[in-house]
Amino acid sequence: MQITQEWDKTFPKSDRVDHRKVTFKNRYGITLVGDLYQPKNASGKLAAIAVSGPFGAVKEQSSGLYAQTMAERGFVTLAFDPSYTGESGGEPRNVASPDINTEDFSAAVDFLGLQPNVDRERIGIIGICGFGGFALSAAAVDKRVKAVVASTMYDMTRVMSKGYNDRVTLQERTRMLEQLSRQRWSDAEHGTPAYQPPYNVLKGGEAQFLVDYHAYYMTPRGYHPRAVNSGHAWTITTPLSFMNFPILTYIQEISPRPMLLIHGEKAHSRYFSETAYAAAAHPKELVIVPGASHVDLYDRLDVIPFAKMATFFNQYLA
């Protein structure tokens, strides 16, 4: 496993936090690689936050920016690469799983709870985009998580099984599963999985949100060579388990621990947070950021409500 030690993030290094690379294992024995951020000169036991996402991104992008910014605000934070992606382990590369990616958050909580300067009764998690859904899933099942934030959230099991705005018909779903099922024989025959076409390569005529993704993942603003979304792709069969595995079934069981959902007013994905909010039990809060698109909440420091997040975690990880 090759772990880079130089600063190769898409954001500048803060002089207000200490940073180091760390590794830890999840319940399936996959070694995950993360960046641990800590406030400089902090003493005593601190509250901690694990951060991951977006789906197909790496810790050198949004999750690292969120983690470093929250460390500046007094928390020990861990941004990690999910299994099979980035610097984390797992073969084959660039495959996702609603179960394993939920587990990755709990493995991060394992790691944080073993740090000598972390109060293990004061651990929260932040999930961005598709990992917002996994963060909610992890918070529901893992009672050690005391507070959860999902920013610009996607429910990946919902969008893969039902399409955007739940428009996929049973006939379309059946056809898609037929193709994915048969792809397994092809992969088994070749001994390696086939991959989808490269992500975020524009051909013209795409919807605005796809143009927005390109503007983040494929330009110096957010490009990272290890990110699935920066011109790489998931395996063709990645959607299989997502099609049959609704991760937010038990969202009400996050309560009585609090959740904060943050979404852009103009985001194509806003309905994911709104329906999750409606399904969840109290305490819960939904913050709609005026004028913001989905991707604005990836890296725009003038748009992401970090002060709100800090207030939320300071209250509930007190």
pLDDT at 115 over 80: yes
**What band does 29 get if pLDDT is binned at 50, 70 and 90?**
very high
pLDDT at 1 over 80: no
Residue-by-residue DSSP string for 206-268: --HHHHHHHHHHTSTTT--TT-TTTT---BTTTHHHHTT--TTTTGGGGTTS-EEEEEETT-T
> What whole-number percentage of the chain has pLDDT above 70?
100
Classified as helix, coil or strand, 281 is coil
Give CA–CA dist 241/158, Å, rounded.
11
**What band does 294 get if pLDDT is binned at 50, 70 and 90?**
very high
What's 50's DSSP letter? E
| pLDDT score recorded for residue 250 | 98
Residue-by-residue DSSP string for 136-204: HHHHHH-TTEEEEEEES---HHHHHHH-GGG---HHHHHHHHHHHHHHHHHHHHHTS--BPPPTT---S
Mean pLDDT of 76-101: 98
Strand-pair category, 284-289 with 76-80: unpaired
Give CA–CA dist 258/256, Å, rounded.
6
* C-alpha atoms less than 13 angstroms from C-alpha of 158 in its C-beta half-sphere: 20
pTM: predicted TM-score of the whole model, two decimal places = 0.98
Pair of tokens at residue 59: 């810790």
Q: What is the pLDDT of residues 218-257, one digit of tens each?
A: 999 999 999 999 999 999 999 999 999 999 999 999 999 9
Q: What is the pLDDT of residues 155-191, one digit of tens each?
A: 999 999 999 999 999 999 999 999 999 999 999 999 9
Give CA–CA dist 106/100, Å, rounded.
10
Structural element, H or E, at residue 63: helix 62-72
| pLDDT score recorded for residue 2 | 80
Residue tagged 């999910």 (tokens):
82
Pair of tokens at residue 216: 């983040």
Residue-by-residue DSSP string for 70-110: HHHTT-EEEEEPPTTSTTS--SSSS---HHHHHHHHHHHHH
